[in-house]
Amino acid sequence: MSSASSYKKLKKLGKGSFGSVYLVQRSEGGEPLVMKEVSLRGLSRKDRQATINEVSILKKVVHPNVIAYRDSFSTIDMLCICMEHAPGGDLTALISSKRRSGERFAEGVVIKMAYELTSALAYFHHELHLLHRDLKPQNVFVASDGSMKLGDFGLSKQLAATNALAKTLCGTPLYMSPELCAGETYNRAADVWALGCVLFEVMGLQPPWQQYATQGINRLMQLIARTGTLDLRGCKAHYSASLCDYLEKLLAKRASQRPALATLLPLPLFAQPPHGWMISFHL
């Protein structure tokens, strides 16, 4: 059975939603992994046990575009989860690199990203019956072959609720759907909107609602709830009508008008199989 002594910390990667994140390796060697330390402090005994039990969900997640579970163990006040390491970093860094170079992603690259992320999120929704709850470029990782890997989905209802409150109070809700900003509850359609926001940022190299970034969180949420429509003219100037139509479907203002992701995968936009695109980011 694994414990803290089973792993050697190679370096700290940062601070995640619920605790610190490290690059680690098993003491006897093997592939580098990402270990997330999730604090259990402040949780009731019932909620603490529910959180630990929900790691069993991670074990069921098997998809080529989702960060894979490797191991987990708990201490008195900490849950440690070891996941697959994606050496290419996150999508935020990839977008920043493109923005600095003054180049846009090629259409084929964007279509490949759209297919992989749609496939991963459809798997969550329709096969596992789970919500991601925190989809944004920082939670999309790049594998060594350039493929997208979805990670950091809400681990438990208790932790997700705490994290949602923290994000609302401390962060900018750029990827929150209009209905969430209006106070409605989270559902599949909110995940679909967030996917649209991620692709909007890939295509425009700027986060959504950038023009309102200085308005303050409460004002920004009010604007998103009332406006609910992102300006896609910049995307349409650089990408095909079929790709922009796809983006428009994801970003429908009304939640009821956003499609179930499983229905989108057979679209002609994705007619060429993903392995046929042969796209690499030269990591």
Query: 226, exposed or middle or buried, with CB in 10 Å at 0-12, 13-18, 19+?
Result: exposed
End-to-end CA distance of the chain: 34
Cβ atoms < 10 Å from Cβ of 174: 19
Q: Report the C-alpha gap between 144 and 281 in whole angstroms.
A: 8
CA dihedral 268, 273, 277, 282 (to 10 degrees): 130
- Of all helices (H) and strands (E), which one includes residue 244? helix 241-250
Sign of CA dihedral 215, 140, 27, 81: positive
Classified as helix, coil or strand, 162 is helix
Q: Which residues contact 197 (CB under 8 A, 6 or more apart)?
A: 135, 136, 174, 175, 207, 208, 230, 251
Q: What is the DSSP letter of 190?
A: H
Residue 134 falls in the annotated catalytic set: yes
Catalytic residue from among 71, 90, 134, 191: 134
Q: Are 271 and 113 in contact (CB under 8 A)?
A: no
Q: Report the C-alpha gap between 39 and 165 in whole angstroms.
A: 16
Unique residue bearing structure tokens 């079929």? 242
Please report, as a single letter, which amino acid is at residue 240. S
List the catalytic residues. 134
